[in-house]
Amino acid sequence: MTEPAYILGIESSCDETACGIVADGTDVLSNCVASQIELHRRFGGVVPELASRAHIEAINNIVASAMEQTAIAPEKISAVAIANEPGLIGSLLIGLMAAKTIAWIWDVPLVAVNHVYAHAYAAALDAGPIDYPAAALICSGGHTALYRCDSPMDMTLLGGTIDDAAGEAFDKVAKILQLGYPGGPVIDRVSRDGDPKLIDFPRSLLGGGSLDFSFSGLKTAVLYHVNGVPGPRPTRGGRKPGPSARRASMQSNAGRGIENFTPREVADVAAGFQAAVVDTLRIKLRRAAEKTGAKTLVIGGGVAANSALRKAVTELGDKLGCEVRMPEMAYCVDNAVMTAGLGYHYLQAGKTADLNLAACPTVRR
């Protein structure tokens, strides 16, 4: 029997420092993540400079922990996979430097992995190969995008956000509702006590067949609903709020300031907002699946942990006759096992990088 290929993955693209070891692309042996949530909580979002410094402090220990949790000796590691794009440049550079150093010292190949593609691969971890072609919806704090996937490495971008990412909208709306940070998990929880149909927040579909996303209008509609439409009242020639933002702001109890909302009213706003995000994501994923003739629907990224989205995508899969692949909860948010898992496929295909590999902060189209 041949020995499995063990890949050590490193991830530091945003605010998680992570290292994990995966055998043959799907078998997770260790998954270590140092989260910086506490560090950024009081700012209500990730502060890039603080994130890079925290990565420097965490990276050595996290790699050591990932190795210790397996009985695998360094000589058995086949390659080091690094998420070198996209992300915060200062953060990416810390993981990249660590990955290059380990690859050089252990004399193993370095493999470059796109972080967003890795989110689309996360559903294969501890589960097995995905049946392609697939339509993948990746929604996280930094990205909201739809892809046609023909293999783990073959990704065609179909659409992306033109303003806020879905997770960013969750985080900002949680701030408006004074629910804390990060917003996604708490809105998910609070929404269970609310009525998702009570407030008619806008679903921005951007016309006919668009596969792009926009969440900034929805965020403004929530803000107006909570605080009222900013005065003075629009006059001739003045800039008026859009019709859907006005509609949401005019509903009962609106505009009184969040401190005057009862917990039930807060839950109704959270549930109405979440329903608007989930509807939008579901409608666009359906369009992407129909356009690509997908056999499989895949979701990934932090927002893929959302209970309402998971339910909506499960139902959509039933309706379209597609298999649905969703990552386990631990593999939705940023981690390095998705990097290691996808890295295995690059290694198999002979697509390795050299030690001049650069970090790239933006999503390449």
140 contacts ligand KG4 (rule: CB under 6 A): yes
Question: What does the alpha-carbon distance between residue 132 and residue 109 come to, in Å, rounded to a whole number?
Answer: 28
Q: Report in angstroms how near the CB of residue 197 gets to ligand KG4 at its nearest.
A: 19
Residue 280 touches which member of Zn ion, ligand KG4, none, C-beta under 5-8 Å by kind: none
Question: Residue 235's CB: how many other CB atoms inside 10 A?
Answer: 8
Query: Are 142 and 116 within 8 A, CB to CB?
Result: no
Nearer to Zn ion, 144 or 274 (CB): 144
327 contacts ligand KG4 (rule: CB under 6 A): no
Question: Residue 91's CB: how many other CB atoms inside 10 A?
Answer: 28
Pairing of the two strands 6-11 and 144-149: unpaired
164 contacts ligand KG4 (rule: CB under 6 A): no
Q: What 3-state class would DSSP assign to 206?
A: coil
Question: What does the alpha-carbon distance between residue 275 and residue 308 come to, in Å, rounded to a whole number?
Answer: 8
336 contacts ligand KG4 (rule: CB under 6 A): no
Residue 170 touches which member of ligand KG4, Zn ion, none, C-beta under 5-8 Å by kind: ligand KG4
334 contacts Zn ion (rule: CB under 5 A): yes
Q: Which residue from 10, 14, 145, 322 is in contact with ligand KG4, where contact means CB under 6 A?
A: 14
Structure tokens at 242: 């859009």
183 contacts ligand KG4 (rule: CB under 6 A): yes
Residue 55: what residue type?
H
Contact segment (CB under 6 A) with ligand KG4 among 18-26, 135-143, 154-162, 224-232 equals: 135-143
171 contacts ligand KG4 (rule: CB under 6 A): yes
Contact segment (CB under 6 A) with ligand KG4 among 26-34, 196-204, 206-214, 298-306 equals: 298-306
Contact segment (CB under 6 A) with ligand KG4 among 138-146, 219-227, 244-252, 263-271 equals: 138-146
Within 8 A by CB and 6+ apart from 195, the residues are 268, 271, 272
Residue 23 touches which member of Zn ion, ligand KG4, none, C-beta under 5-8 Å by kind: none
303 contacts ligand KG4 (rule: CB under 6 A): yes
Contact segment (CB under 6 A) with ligand KG4 among 52-60, 76-84, 89-97, 182-190 equals: 182-190
| Burial environment of residue 50 by CB neighbours within 10 A (0 to 12, 13 to 18, 19 or more) | middle
Q: Among residue numbers 112 through 171, which ones bind Zn ion (CB under 5 A)?
A: 140
Q: What is the DSSP string of 265-317?
A: HHHHHHHHHHHHHHHHHHHHHHHHHHHHT-SEEEEESGGGG-HHHHHHHHHHH
86 contacts ligand KG4 (rule: CB under 6 A): no
CA 232 to chain centre: 38
| Burial environment of residue 364 by CB neighbours within 10 A (0 to 12, 13 to 18, 19 or more) | exposed
Residue 252: what residue type?
S
182 contacts ligand KG4 (rule: CB under 6 A): yes
Question: What does the alpha-carbon distance between residue 241 and residue 89 come to, in Å, rounded to a whole number?
Answer: 36
Residue 244 touches which member of ligand KG4, Zn ion, none, C-beta under 5-8 Å by kind: none
Query: Are 301 and 139 within 8 A, CB to CB?
Result: yes
Query: Which backbone phi and psi does 279 adopt, to 5 degrees?
Result: -60, -45
170 contacts ligand KG4 (rule: CB under 6 A): yes
Q: Which residue from 333, 336, 347, 359 is in contact with ligand KG4, where contact means CB under 6 A?
A: 333
212 contacts Zn ion (rule: CB under 5 A): no
Nearer to ligand KG4, 23 or 270 (CB): 270
167 contacts ligand KG4 (rule: CB under 6 A): yes
Residues that bind Zn ion (CB under 5 A): 140, 334
